[in-house]
Chain A
Amino acid sequence: MAPAPKPKLAVWKFASCDGCQLSLLDCEDELLAVADAVEIAYFPEATRAVVKGPDDLSLVEGSITTQHDAARIHQVRKSSKRLVTIGACATAGGIQALRNFADVSEYTKYVYANPSYISTLATSTPISRHVYVDFELQGCPINKTQLLEVISAFVHGRKPNIASHSVCIECKRSGTPCVMVTQGTPCMGPITHAGCGSICPSYGRGCYSCFGPMETPNTASLAKWFEKLGDDRAAVLRKFRTFYSGKEAYRKESGRHEPG
């Protein structure tokens, strides 16, 4: 009997820096196991070879910032049995969602010699705003161990073990004393989605929330505490307008700290 065909994996890029899809190539020790478990059907960062769809699992990186991409994502969805978005861009609009707070035509005027060549949307939006998404993996960039967990889970038809609680739980499980409590360093960890392994606090720095809001982010309470620790309005605003300003909780909280 011929072995069952391997599930086809495709990796798609939208508006992004490629960092998340490179996390897959970064899985050096596990790369052969990945190639054994799935057939790489489409992954331009890794190979020019293209296998015809449809695909069993599509990993989508990047946000929707152009008309062209807004149409293309529907094609990807149509050709994918399961669609998983990876990274802050795909799940929240990414750093480029800062444009949502500004006037894009103003920006293009200053940045490009011939802004008339630029055709772009006024906003950067997550993939889930456009098509149904089976799972969202957070992070800027994503954690490669979590990526392998998600691929394994989808290949074997089980639920991925990806917790959506705070980073604090990761700090406490690893025995890292709280930087906010011991140093008074403002830290986004209490409202940030776990997954990084609490890297910054383990080096004595506050969390930047590069994994975005956790499941129940009480942004107002933490922002109030930041002010008590000495942050001014601008500093609080900046903390909520980074990688995940496109998420409703952060968009709203940052708005409360606008000047004036």
Chain B
Amino acid sequence: MEHRAGIEWSAQTSYVARADFNALIDALLNHGYIVVGPTIRDGAIVFGEVQSDRDFPVGATDVQDGGKYRIGEHTAPTLFSFAASPHSLKTYLYPSRSLLYSAHGSSGNFAVDAPAPQTPARYAFIGVRSCDLHAMNLQDKVFLEGAYVDPGYKHRRENAFLIAVNCGKPAGTCFCVSMGTGPKAPPLFDLALTEICDDSGHYFVVECGSAQGSAILACVPHRPAEATELHAAQEVVRGAERAMGRKLDTTDIKELLYRNAESPRWEKVADRCLSCANCTMVCPTCFCSTVEDTTDLTGAHAERWRVWDSCFTIDFSHIHGGSVRKSGSSRYRHWITHKLASWQDQFGASGCVGCGRCVTWCPVGIDITEEIAILRQTETDHETLPEEQGNARD
């Protein structure tokens, strides 16, 4: 397991006043980016297109727990005092539905249509969290490495401008510290902001991670951050480290899961698991898709679409003769074992970044950190735990 090495702060950090935040958005817009930032939609803070700070959830925070998300009021008019939403970079870099190709045919001939010329959208994301950058890094391994590179993902990824935000207010379901994936953003960003709002004022300490980042920052009024300001930013991150809502003991976790393929715990979690696939949909690293071929009524036009899929569906493991994972217990076991164990064999890193989305957005609050803790306990006890302990969060 990779453990948190304590990500260093940039040698040079800048100060940007809250009053100049719109200059940052303007600079991105002027550079031709579609600017995506946190917005409130249907009771959640999610990514959406923004034009100015008026689109931001000013002074809002979130309260998250297993199967529960509420927007709350923060004590200060901050722009980023909340944690992960059901959306992540995946929503944009790996869209839920994309056309792979279209084709037409007549009198027995079949020809693939030339793809329509595409100008890939250039997105600038404001408010990307450390967990999300780590997740993007994992999706990069899936889509950009090896013999087959996903061209659509590559276009979107290369054109993305990433403004990270170091978390100051983790949610109740956050556990990035356990996974070594936060809260300090790894140097995969173009710019990284740490928001400070206290007696000394409301401002951002900005780190620069790329030449494009410097170019954008140059369009925004800024000055070198003073030592006290950098210290305040570091305190924000330290505070977030201490405020993790959950933790997951990753000791020996691969072997733990491999040893426990037949644990009685899987049946217990299957009693609650709905196989609804929400956990996989909101997971910023889950990358599975299915391919749908379709024709129109004339039969002369065919299309092949790629859509997000989930290992919790029956069709996902359907091979000759039927589905391989018919039981809920086998599907949950597969998901968590891949995420935390076999992902390491496959990609050299854990597939979990500790964002807590699967915990919050599980309609019945199944908690990956709790399941691992109980699995450990079950193994230690060499017997099934009593019902009431097993279902502590019911």
Residues in chain A within 8 A of chain B (CB atoms)? 30, 33-34, 36-37, 148-149, 151-153, 155-156, 158, 161, 163-166, 168-169, 172-184, 187, 189-191, 204, 215-216, 218, 220-222, 224-225, 228
Q: Find out whether the CB atom of A36 lies under 8 angstroms from the CB atom of B275.
A: no
B298: which A residues are within 8 A, CB to CB?
33, 36-37
* Complex Cα spacing A169 to B97, Å: 12
Interface residues on B, range: 35 or more
Residue of B nearest to A30 (CB): B297
8 Å CB contact of B276 from A152, A153, A168: A168
Which B-chain residue is minimally distant from A184 (CB atoms)? B68
Give every chain A residue within 8 A of B295 (Cβ-Cβ): 152-153, 156, 158
B372 at the interface (CB under 8 A from A): no
Query: Do B43 and A166 touch across chains, with their CB atoms under 8 A apart?
Result: no
Is chain A's binding surface mostly helix, strand, loop or mixed?
Answer: helix
Instruction: Identify which of residues 37-75 in chain B touch chain A, using a CB-to-CB cut-off of 8 Å.
Output: 41-44, 46, 67-71
In the A-B complex, the 4 residue pairs with the closest CB atoms: A172-B281, A182-B43, A190-B276, A173-B96
CA distance A183 to B271 in the complex (A): 24
Please measure, in the bound complex, the distance between the C-alpha atom of A165 and the C-alpha atom of B316, giving whole angstroms: 10
Contact A218 B315 (CB under 8 A): no
B contacts, CB < 8 Å to A:
41-44, 46, 67-71, 85-87, 91, 96-97, 271-278, 281-282, 292-299, 307-308, 310, 312-315, 328, 360-361, 363-365, 394
Q: Which residue of A lies closest to B394 (CB)?
A: A224
Given B67, B278, B394, which contacts A172 in the complex, CB threshold below 8 Å?
A: B278
CB-based contact B96/A187 at 8 Å: no
Residues of A within 8 A of B296 (CB): 33, 152
The distance from the CB of A60 to the nearest CB of chain B, in whole angstroms, is 20
20 contacts between A and B (CB under 8 A): A149-B294, A152-B296, A156-B299, A164-B315, A165-B277, A166-B277, A168-B276, A172-B96, A173-B97, A178-B69, A179-B42, A181-B67, A182-B43, A183-B43, A184-B68, A189-B363, A218-B273, A224-B394, A225-B67, A225-B365
Residues of A within 8 A of B313 (CB): 163, 165, 169, 215
Establish whether residues B310 and A165, one from each chain, have CB atoms under 8 Å apart when the complex forms: yes
In contact, B297 and A172 (Cβ under 8 angstroms) = no
